């Protein structure tokens, strides 16, 4: 049973919350471990890095979630969902900009967390099954087989979600992709009101492209609808 279920690691300094979440998520078939600090998370991962997903709280004493994220990114290839303080936009944006796969404002509905966990796992699981194809446009080459984006000879440094954003937009170059569709295709979940994560991912991609295309924005915002990649 345990070998089959997916393994989650919760990193949060609130032990009671960890226990409750662990009980909730275990009930839905996950194998959940918990640690109460960033330091403990690192030492656990050093012994056993076979987790399928990490859920990290931003606000922790000692190593904060925002400090932990780049450490984990640099050593292990495990998807991360960040739990940020509600209403603290700066943390939220930073979390995504540092390459978290998704974020969720805390306190959050556990069902919402479960949905996000499933979405991220589905997305990262799909990678290997996707049909290899590549698109060339404006000198940008997106290879969905190797999951690499290059401009000329230079590699673009993108997170999984950012790569997917670029890939999806380039697939539909010249037509508008709605935010709902983009959220669905990239983040594998429904768009909820006041959910801006897809916009943050898009703006990250824009910033990455701007280094090579200073004079023009290849991704156009179509107000009220979505985004369009220039044909």
Partner 1 sequence: MRAASSLFWKFFLAMWAGYVLLVGVAANVIEEQYETRYSQIEVSERYGPLATYIIARYEQGVDITRREFSQGQIEFESEDANNDLLVIRDMQRERVIFGNRSGAERPTNVDFPIVSETGARYMANVGIPPRRNPLPALTTPTAIATALVTTLLYSWLFTFILTQPISRLKEHVQSLGRGALDQKLEGRLMRRRDEIGDLASSIDEMSSYIQELLNSKQRLLFDVSHELRAPLARLQVAAGIARGEAEAAGANTAMHDRFEQEIDVLNALISELLLLAKTENDVGERHLISLVEELKTVVDDMAFGAPEREIQTQFSVDSAEIEVSVPLFSRVVKNLVENALKYSDGEVLVSLEQDETDWIVQVQDRGEGIPEEQIEAMTQPFTRLQSESVEGFGLGLSIAHRAASALGGSLKLENCETGGLCATFKLPKA
Shortest distance, position 120 Cβ to partner 1, whole Å: 19
| CA–CA gap between residue 38 and residue 24 (Å, rounded) | 22
Q: Which residues bind partner 1 (CB under 8 A)?
A: 14, 16-17, 20-21, 23-24, 27, 85-90, 105-111, 179, 193-194, 196, 199, 221, 223-225
Instruction: List, as one string, the DSSP characters of 17-54.
Output: HHHHHHHHHHTTT-EEEEESSHHHHHHHHHH----SEE
Q: Cβ of residue 194: shortest distance to partner 1, in angstroms?
A: 6
Query: Measured from the CB of residue 60, what is the shortest distance to partner 1 in angstroms?
Result: 12
- In the bound state with partner 1, the residue whose beta carbon lies nearer, of 174 and 194, is 194
Of 70 and 107, nearer to partner 1 (C-beta) is 107
Cβ contact 55:113 at 8 Å: yes
Q: What are phi and psi of 197, to 5 degrees?
A: -65, -35
Cβ 22 to partner 1 shortest distance, Å: 10
Report which of 174, 172, 144 is spatially closest to residue 158, judged by C-alpha positions.
Answer: 144
User: 33 is written with which tokens?
Assistant: 């471990």
Residue closer to partner 1, measured from CB, 27 or 145: 27
For partner 1, give the closer residue by CB, 110 or 184. Answer: 110
């Amino acid at each position: 049973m345990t070998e089959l279920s997916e393994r989650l690691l919760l990193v949060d300094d609130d032990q009671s919350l960890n226990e409750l979440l662990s009980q909730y998520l275990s009930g839905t078939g996950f194998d959940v471990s918990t640690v109460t600090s960033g330091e403990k998370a690192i030492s656990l991962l050093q012994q056993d890095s076979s987790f399928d997903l990490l859920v990290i709280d931003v606000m922790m004493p000692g190593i904060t979630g925002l400090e932990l994220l780049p450490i984990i990114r640099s050593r292990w290839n495990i998807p991360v969902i960040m739990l940020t303080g509600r209403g603290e936009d700066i943390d939220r944006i930073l979390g995504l900009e540092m390459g978290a796969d998704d974020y969720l404002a805390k306190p959050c509905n556990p069902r919402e967390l479960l949905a996000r966990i499933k979405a991220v796992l589905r997305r990262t699981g799909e990678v290997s099954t996707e049909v290899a194809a590549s698109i060339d446009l404006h000198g940008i080459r997106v290879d969905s087989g190797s999951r690499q984006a290059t401009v000329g000879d230079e590699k673009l440094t993108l997170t999984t979600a950012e790569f997917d954003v670029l890939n999806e937009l380039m697939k539909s170059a010249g037509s508008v992709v709605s935010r709902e569709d983009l959220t669905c295709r990239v983040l594998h979940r429904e768009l909820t009101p006041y959910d801006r994560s897809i916009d943050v991912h898009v703006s990250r991609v824009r910033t990455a492209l701007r280094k090579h295309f200073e004079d023009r924005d290849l991704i156009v915002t179509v107000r009220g609808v979505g985004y369009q990649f220039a044909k």
